[in-house]
Amino acid sequence: MNPVIKDGNYVVVNRLAYAFSEPKRGDIIVVRPRDTLQKIVKRVIGLPGERIVFEGNKIVIKENREDTGKVLQEVYLAGDTTKNNEEVFYETIDPYEYYTLGDNRDVSVDSRRLGPVDKWSIKGKVIFIFDF
């Protein structure tokens, strides 16, 4: 999650953050992906029912097939967003699923590799980051 969360940083996680609300785009969450026991920290990019389109180094969010989409503005990243070898890649998110990406996209293991995460596999929201 570099540059927002660096190696050696500690995070405070609110485990009840989504008990009465839904994750929002841009939230940093702790999640346990399918088929693993390891918890990882990622940023929510896509919400249930949306269509994510990777076009070169930008991400376009579409509500449905006919929607022209909106380019995701990621001010928290240093430099380009996502490099995708000039291909166009589509991902449709099912209900109760979220699409997550790491901020250090070149080396991040995230939904591009692990697939979308289920709502019930979200363990909490990162609310504070600090370093000793």
CATH of the domain at 64: 2.10.109.10
Q: Could you give the maximum distance between any two Cα atoms of the chain, in Å?
A: 49
pLDDT at 43: 97
| pLDDT for 60 beyond 70 | yes
Examine residue 112 and state whether it is found in any structural domain, yes or no. yes
In-domain check, residue 1 = no
Q: Where are the beta strands (DSSP E) in the chain?
A: 10-14, 28-31, 40-46, 51-55, 58-62, 70-71, 88-92, 97-101, 117-118, 122-130
The reply to whether 3 falls in a domain is no
Q: Is residue 2 part of a domain?
A: no
| Least confident residue range of 1-5, 25-29, 96-100, 118-122 | 1-5
- What's the domain count of the chain? 1
pLDDT digits (tens, 9 = 90+) for 67-116: 889 999 988 886 655 665 557 889 999 999 999 999 988 888 999 999 99
Residue at 65 is within a domain: yes
**DSSP H helix total and E strand total for the chain:** 1, 10
Q: Which of 41, 52, 64 is nearest to 125 (CA)?
A: 41
Q: Is residue 57 part of a domain?
A: yes
106, with CB counted inside 10 A (0-12, 13-18, 19+), is exposed
Pick the residue with more confidence: 27 or 37?
Answer: 27
pLDDT of residue 57: 83
Confidence band of 26 (pLDDT split at 50, 70, 90)? very high
For residue 115, give its domain range.
Answer: 10-130
Report if residue 54 sits inside a domain.
yes
pLDDT over 90 at 45, yes or no: yes
Closest by CA to 51, choosing from 89, 92, 8, 3, is 92
* pTM score over 0.75: yes
- Dihedral sign for Cα 36, 41, 42, 44, please: positive
4 is a domain residue? no
